[in-house]
Amino acid sequence: MTSPSFQRFESFQSDFSYETRPVRVVFRPGAAVTATPGEAARLGLRRLLVVCGTRGEAVARAVADALGDTCAGVHAEARMHVPVEDADRAVAAVRAAGADGCVAVGGGSAIGLGKAIALRTGLPLIAVPSTYSGSEMTPVWGLTDHGAKRTGRDPVVQPRSVVYDPRLTLSLPVPLTVTSGVNALAHAVEALYAPDTSPLVSVMAEEGVRAMTEALPRLAADPKDLDARSRALYAAWLCGSCLGSTTMGLHHKVCHVLGGTFGLPHAETHTVVLPHALAYNAPAPPQALAVLRRALGADDAPRALWELAGRLGVPRSLAELGLRESDVAPAADRVAGEPYANPREVTAEGVRSLLRAAYEGGPPATA
Ligand code: NAD
């Protein structure tokens, strides 16, 4: 594999392609209410359905109020992993409202439902994220049908406009702040060794990892620190952009299986699995590891991620998240049966030992 970075100590990757998609980003405290109507106007939208989850309804209603006459209703039915029946109901709501676009307010679940609507109808989407999932910066959609999560890429689901308002994230509880932040880190980590990585992705990933890992301890100490919130959201933007520009690998596949088939919570699962997935892949992409060592300020990147989760008090084992020991082998078979692109060969035995280590929650194998 060629070098993913042109930075110090590494050779320049001189064979790559990079696509820039037309996404407008507005970043400002208070922007959810002050900037969303202007973004809708820029896109020429006049009847917007606001999509959110039940817990995010109050904020979504504030955005809906700001939209005034251009709001065609609030659909507060987003749930994790976008069950297909939820997508069906949301599309029916859009049609019943005669909407010409959607605004998704909330975490990856709300944005995921907005993307499902865009996928089926072609309507433009504005995203107002309230977590660090990064979904707003990707053309990736996900749908769960009969216990199996499918993902795909389609430019039509990429939000046309993203309104980043750090104030929306002030209410994120510390555990979700940390796990959602590590979800963002996972995007940067896998982008560094993706087959379609590039020097620009490498720069974004390094800056994203550095900014997020600096912000999270500050937020664990003081979740109302608006400056740290802004830095974490900036990092989420960078890490989400990395995910949007590259192909996901083993880590994301493991998390999709554990979430879609075994019902584990998304951000927490990313947090537990990431050190072990990176340890599994560590021998394969030395250049990616060099970038991560620099960004994390640590020689052993998988261990540094594992220690970060421990220091910040979030779960480190799949057992804590509710996975049964008897699920490890079938989950591994499922991952190995349809692997994503990965720098190291994915074998059922290899995934089984990765999952067993993540199930137990001890330190990852030394890189
Ligand atoms: P989420 O959207 O389900 O939110 C988690 C919980 O936090 C929910 O109960 C929600 O109501 C609550 N919440 C959200 N924002 C809050 C806030 N500011 N204050 C208090 N509570 C808040 O979880 P998530 O981790 O953001 O997203 C997970 C989903 O996103 C998964 O389905 C995942 O597959 C998807 N995702 C997709 C992509 C992509 O590119 N397509 C990328 C990342 C995640």
Which residue is closest in CA terms to ligand 1's atom 25? 267
- Could you tell me the distance, in angstroms and rounded to a whole number, from the CA of residue 277 to the centre of ligand 1? 21
Which residue is closest in CA terms to ligand 1's atom 30? 108
What pLDDT is stored for residue 260 in this prediction? 87
Place of tokens 């340890």: 279
What pLDDT is stored for residue 4 in this prediction? 43
Which residue is closest in CA terms to ligand 1's atom 5? 107
Question: Smallest Cα–Cα separation from 77: which of 51, 105, 100, 102?
Answer: 51
- Could you tell me the distance, in angstroms and rounded to a whole number, from the CA of residue 112 to the centre of ligand 1? 9
Place of tokens 């709501």: 93
Run means of pLDDT, 10 residues per run, the chain, 367 residues? 45 86 96 98 98 94 98 96 96 98 98 98 98 98 88 96 98 98 98 96 98 98 98 98 97 94 95 98 91 97 98 98 98 92 95 98 87
What pLDDT is stored for residue 184 in this prediction? 98
What pLDDT is stored for residue 367 in this prediction? 54
Per-residue burial over 142-162, b if 16 or more Cβ lie within 10 Å, else e, is bbbeeeebebeeeeebbbbbb
Calpha distance 239→261 (Å, rounded): 25
End-to-end distance of the chain based on CA atoms, in angstroms? Answer: 18
Which residue is closest in CA terms to ligand 1's atom 6? 107
Which residue is closest in CA terms to ligand 1's atom 28? 108
Residue 96 CB contacts under 8 Å (≥ 6 apart), including other chains? none
Which residue is closest in CA terms to ligand 1's atom 24? 108
Which residue is closest in CA terms to ligand 1's atom 29? 108
63 and 52 Cβ atoms separated by less than 8 Å: no
- Could you tell me the distance, in angstroms and rounded to a whole number, from the CA of residue 9 to the centre of ligand 1? 37
201 and 242 Cβ atoms separated by less than 8 Å: yes
Tell me yes or no: is domain 24-169 CATH 3.40.50.1970. yes
30 vs 7, 26, 48, 89, 244, CA distance in Å?
36, 11, 20, 31, 26
Give pTM, 2 decimals: 0.95
Got the DSSP string for 72-101? Answer: EEEE----TT-BHHHHHHHHHHHHHHT-SE
Calpha distance 320→329 (Å, rounded): 18
Ligand 1 site residues (CB inside 6 A) read 53, 55-56, 80-81, 106-110, 112, 130-131, 133-135, 138, 140, 142, 168-169, 171-172, 176, 180, 183, 243, 266-267
What pLDDT is stored for residue 259 in this prediction? 92
What pLDDT is stored for residue 279 in this prediction? 97
Pairing outcome for strands 24-27 and 48-51:
unpaired
148 and 338 Cβ atoms separated by less than 8 Å: no
74 and 93 Cβ atoms separated by less than 8 Å: no
What pLDDT is stored for residue 298 in this prediction? 97
Question: Smallest Cα–Cα separation from 152: which of 143, 162, 163?
Answer: 143
Assign domain 174-360 to its CATH superfamily.
Dehydroquinate synthase-like - alpha domain (1.20.1090.10)
67 and 37 Cβ atoms separated by less than 8 Å: yes
- Could you tell me the distance, in angstroms and rounded to a whole number, from the CA of residue 136 to the centre of ligand 1? 11
Give the domain ranges of the chain.
24-169, 174-360
- Could you tell me the distance, in angstroms and rounded to a whole number, from the CA of residue 254 to the centre of ligand 1? 18
- Could you tell me the distance, in angstroms and rounded to a whole number, from the CA of residue 134 to the centre of ligand 1? 9
- Could you tell me the distance, in angstroms and rounded to a whole number, from the CA of residue 92 to the centre of ligand 1? 23
- Which atom of ligand 1 is found nearest the CA of 243? 40
- Could you tell me the distance, in angstroms and rounded to a whole number, from the CA of residue 333 to the centre of ligand 1? 27
Calpha distance 337→335 (Å, rounded): 5
Helices (H), the chain: 31-34, 36-42, 57-67, 84-97, 108-121, 174-192, 199-221, 226-245, 250-260, 266-281, 286-296, 301-311, 328-337, 348-360
In this structure, is the dihedral angle defined by the CA atoms of residues 280, 283, 287 and 289, taken in order, positive or negative? positive
What pLDDT is stored for residue 5 in this prediction? 44
Joined tokens for residue 238: 């960078």
For ligand 1, mutation pick of 21, 153, 182, 266 (most atoms within 8 Å of CB): 266
What pLDDT is stored for residue 226 in this prediction? 98
Joined tokens for residue 28: 């400002």
- Could you tell me the distance, in angstroms and rounded to a whole number, from the CA of residue 265 to the centre of ligand 1? 10
State the CB neighbour count (10 A cutoff) for residue 30: 11
What pLDDT is stored for residue 21 in this prediction? 86
